[in-house]
Structure 1
């Protein structure tokens, strides 16, 4: 990994410093998690969460206007198992990022990193809480999940996670409306391959393409946030069917 590049890079703005701090936190979390005995359990919990999200938001997920964007959110931004190389490459090119990218893009990247970090930390905490109760992650039920969720010591982070989804989604939507970004992604394909950054380039291009195809992104984000806030309230209040929401949401 490339922690020394993160530490040794001089940053000159608040946005660059925030991104640097978050990348270091994320780097250290990934390092600790890699060899932990509950690492695979955390991945299983993440998969369980993805399937739960698809069911809760099935109407949105099946909507052709939103499906690509939701798939990107669930498989790229919320994908702890398969993105090690991508994350290493972000660390590797950090010195160039803070040199060439404007602050508003660094701020958006910082939000993406923070959302990914918090999500993985929360899944790992759930894996620990289930392990304390001798519940294997592969056999977890909705009731098991809710019991562990209510025992969480990171409820404020869970509330912040939902708000970060809204913030990051709105920022991404603003950037993909800029046609210059699409042109730059197309033109940078070959240089990215030559620099061994094809996985990072593919990630950026998938996000651009997914959000570019979506209409009324604000409406989608508002629905996601209000529904997930209701799910959280349902779990904490012991609702018998916490993931079943009224049609009005």
Structure 2
């Protein structure tokens, strides 16, 4: 078994997220609660950012976040694929691209930990009021702020990376080898995220809008606002 101290930052974050999901999968009640929580959060995000979802310029980016980062589908195969190719990614990716992937996995690991903490308090059936109480009880404002800082950093990094033509060409060239290596799902995930940001005219404005609204929601929840999600 690989010694934890020898793992790279990318491999460490991959392991943390995978183990968090595996623990939940072994507990049917926790798994059910986490799925209900993720479904609630995806629906809430759709409402809070309905204008971005309706805009042709940002529609695909919103769907990418909702379905790939907040979706309820099984991510175990993606976890396995990422761990398999992590050493290769560290050798061949430019430093800024590797940091973006590492940031994404750090965000994923933190989100899984926050979801598990809330799911343990909520169970599979809950109301919006229950969710708000659990949001305050499960984690500190610093944990939530850290999550949004990571979203901001990841979004800003993606906004820069999509300008690099070499990366787009590299993703296209990877399609065949990825399918042959059994990594087609991971390849699709990477291409979808890259494409969603590349097609936007002002991706940094999109990221800034998302983070500004979510920080406002967070502050309103901790300030016990009567309707913390009613931003639009």
Which one of the candidate residues 201, 216, 222 is aligned to 2:202? 216
Q: Note the C-alpha offset of 1:120.
A: 1.7
CA contact (8 A) 2:10 2:86 kept: no
Contact 2:158 2:197 in 1 (8 A): yes
Is residue 14–residue 105 contact of structure 2 (8 Å, CA) maintained in 1?
Answer: yes
Q: 1:43 aligns with which of 35, 38, 42?
A: 35
Give CA deviations for 1:188-220 in whole Å, capped at 9, x if unaligned.
211111111101111111111111111111211
1:84 aligns with 2:70: no
Q: Cα gap change, 1:83/1:195 in structure 2, threshold over 3 Å: closer, same or farther?
A: same
RMSD of equivalent CA atoms = 1.9
Q: State the 1:113 CA deviation.
A: 0.4
Task: Tell me how many residue pairs correspond in the alignment.
Answer: 231
Alpha-carbon separation, structure 2, partners of 1:79 and 1:56:
16
Give the match for residue 138 of structure 2: 152
Pair 103,49 (structure 1): closer, same or farther in 2 beyond 3 Å: same
What residue is the counterpart of 2:14 in the other structure? Answer: 23
| Structure-1 separation of matches of 2:137 and 2:79 | 30
Q: CA 1:153 to 1:212, structure 2 compared with 1: closer, same or farther past 3 Å?
A: closer
> 2:151 matched to which residue of 1?
165
Q: Which stretch of the first structure deviates more once superposed, 181-190 or 167-176?
A: 181-190
CA contact under 8 A between 1:78 and 1:116: conserved in structure 2? no
User: Which position in structure 2 is the counterpart of 1:57?
Assistant: 49
In structure 1, stretches of 5+ residues that fail to align are 12-16, 132-136
Preserved CA contact (<8 Å) 1:42 1:123? yes
Structure 1 CA distance for aligned equivalents of residues 168 and 50 of structure 2: 29
Deviation at 1:7, TM superposition (A): 4.7
SS in 2 for 1:241: coil
Unmatched segments (≥5 aa) in structure 2: none
Equivalent position of 2:103 in the other structure: 111
What TM-score, normalized to structure 2? 0.92
- CA shift at 1:101, angstroms? 2.0
In structure 2, what is the Cα distance between the partners aligned to 1:201 and 1:9? 29
TM-score normalised by structure 1 residue count: 0.86
